[in-house]
Structures are given as structure tokens and as C-alpha cells.
Structure 1
Amino acid sequence: MERVLIDSSVWIDFYRPERAQDLKSSVTEAIELDIVSVNGTIAMEVLQGTANEFGFKKILADMCAFNNLPIDWVIYMKSARLGFELRRQGVTVPTIDILIATTAMENSCILWHQDKHFELIAQKTSLKTKSFSTS
């Protein structure tokens, strides 16, 4: 089974009790199958939005348990190239989204998300995605 890189847009809903059960079920299954990856950027985005110290510590422990995909100089430079090429094609997306998408592609992961920018990137690249967006 292919590894998945789960974006903060999915994690945020995963940790909210009132959110979509299909998303929660899919993430829980991926965790049980040990196919979940994160990177420091995603962990940072999720952690900075926690409501309190208890939540921060719980989510930090979770993030540390998943496969970490480090972002090195090569990933940054490939991200810069991708951003450059996308802009030449009239596609402008946030730098952080380009970095996350490049991390997924370079590590052969499917990117799980709820962010339209990743679908724009996927249309122009080899990025594999699974969108949980309901809109």
C-alpha cells in the first residue's frame, strides 16, 4: 500500500470531534496500516492551532509517531522550480503548499488534503492526491 502524506487541512478536521466521519475513518485506517507520513511544515501548522497545552502535547506525540519526511535543500530547490513553472503556466499557489506537494512527490506519497491548491498542482504535475473536500 502506498504511503500517504496527510496535510494539515485533514489533520485539523481529524482532531475536531464534530467533523466528517469518513475523513476520520480514512485517517484512522491509514494510521493502523502504518502508512502515514508528515513533515515539519505540516506538524507546525497543526500544532500552532491547538487550543491548549494538553492538546499541543497530545498532537505533538502523535506527529512524532508518524514517518517524518525531512525537507532538505534539494526539496526546497525543487519546490522553487515547481513554483516558477506553475507561475509561468498562470497557476499561483502558496509557497507552503508547493513545499508540501514537492515533499509528497519526492517521497512517492499520495497527498491527502482539503485544499483546492493541491488539485491545481496535481493538474500540472505527477502529484497524486486524495481530496476530502466537500465543496
Structure 2
Amino acid sequence: YFVLDITDPEQDPTLLWSFSQADVGLTTSYPTVVRVNPSTKPKTDNSNAKWFITFGTGPTSYDADSTQASKMFALEMPKPWSLGSSLVVSTFSTGDGTSFMGDVIALDADLDYRVDTLYQGNVINNGSNPDW
């Protein structure tokens, strides 16, 4: 993944950061942008708001198999990247071996411009044939 600053259409885009990590795998989930703002502040006050990008890990092979437990990553943005620093704020593992994640869905249930919860499904390759 990479993030470009495109706020000024009259200027060329600027690379803010890029992210690559071995256990991400072949990521197939779309990234989701999440805004978090302390509830003590007005809804639209951006002075203390934090922005994150979330996505899930993908399969570890091109045939949609995985040899690792799936994870959801949360990276802070637009925090500038520097050599030796980490953008990873948190990872959440499902604990299910041989699995990978789908797209992250952010929900603002009360429409206050703050994300209330995140939903993300995962695919588990446990070799069983489900009895539908």
C-alpha cells in the first residue's frame, strides 16, 4: 500500500508513505479510511482527530491458500514515514490458521462523523466440505 498527498491539484502528487510487510501476503482487501475524534470535542472539530487506514492480510499463495492466521492492520495517517519508524498502530489476529481477510467496513451508527465500529470477515481454509 502507499499514500499520496493530492490535496493541491496544481501540484504533482507527493508520496507520504508506503507500507509493505512480509506477513501481509497477497492482499485482496480494499483499504478503509477511519476517522476517530474524541467524543468530548464537537463532531466536526478536526484539531484532535486521528485518521487511520485499515486493511486485512491476504492469502500467502496465488491459489488463494494461506499458511498464516489472518490479521487486520491499522496504520496511522498522514503520519510521515521515516527510516526505522513503524506506521503500524495495531494488528488484530483472528487466531484462525490458514485464513485471510476480506474488506473492512467502517460504521458510523449515530452519524456523528466518528467511526463507531469496524467489521471485517475472513476466509478459513480448514479443508472441510461444509454441509450446506
TM-score by structure 1 length?
0.22
Specify which structure has the bigger relative contact order, considering alpha-carbon pairs within 8 angstroms and separated by 6 or more residues.
Answer: 1
More helix by percentage: 1
TM-score of the superposed pair, with normalisation by structure 2: 0.22
More strand as a share of residues? 2
Larger Rg: 2
